[in-house]
Structure 1
């Protein structure tokens, strides 16, 4: 599903009068979650899931088929944990 398809779905389910209004709602949600994660806060939506951040340690590895190695620096990564309601809905299909 593309972002445009998702905006149409939000318009239908949210009963927005226009796609522009639905797109503003989607953008506001994305921007709000992003802002919270940048501040290293978690966002819990009961039944849906929790957006949070985790600290990923530095790691090194070998490029397959070559003798080259690489090192990936330590960083903060976003994480999503599904809630029970969402998990059950997805498993039911």
Structure 2
């Protein structure tokens, strides 16, 4: 497992340095990107950036589970999750 991490501030600074844009401009673009991504996935639209990644909403059926503290059977309601898949370029970069 990697011990390095890149948070949003670090990513914004790196993109700003590589693109010659201000950090404020890059941060605004990231905020808009994530807002559009969240809205689209929330509406059930698959978002795909060929070669890099795809993000889609998935449905989880209702099921029975167990309370780990008591062992009691509980009902878990149906709901939605998010599936993120890496594209070929992202997979190649990780090798």
Equivalent in the alignment of 2:87: 83
Closer, same or farther in 2 for the Cα pair 1:8/1:69, shift >3 Å?
farther
What is the root-mean-square deviation in Å for CA atoms of aligned residues? 1.6
Q: What SS does the corresponding residue of 2:39 show, helix, strand or coil?
A: helix
Aligned pair count reads 90
1:13 and 2:21 matched: no
Equivalent in the alignment of 2:55: 51
1:3 and 2:8 matched: yes
Give ranges in structure 2 of 5+ residues lacking alignment: 1-5
TM-score, length-scaled by structure 2: 0.81
TM-score, length-scaled by structure 1: 0.83
Q: What SS does the corresponding residue of 2:36 show, helix, strand or coil?
A: helix
Measure the CA separation in 1 of the matches of 2:71 and 2:56. 36
1:65 Cα offset (Å) = 4.9
Measure the CA separation in 2 of the matches of 1:12 and 1:63. 49
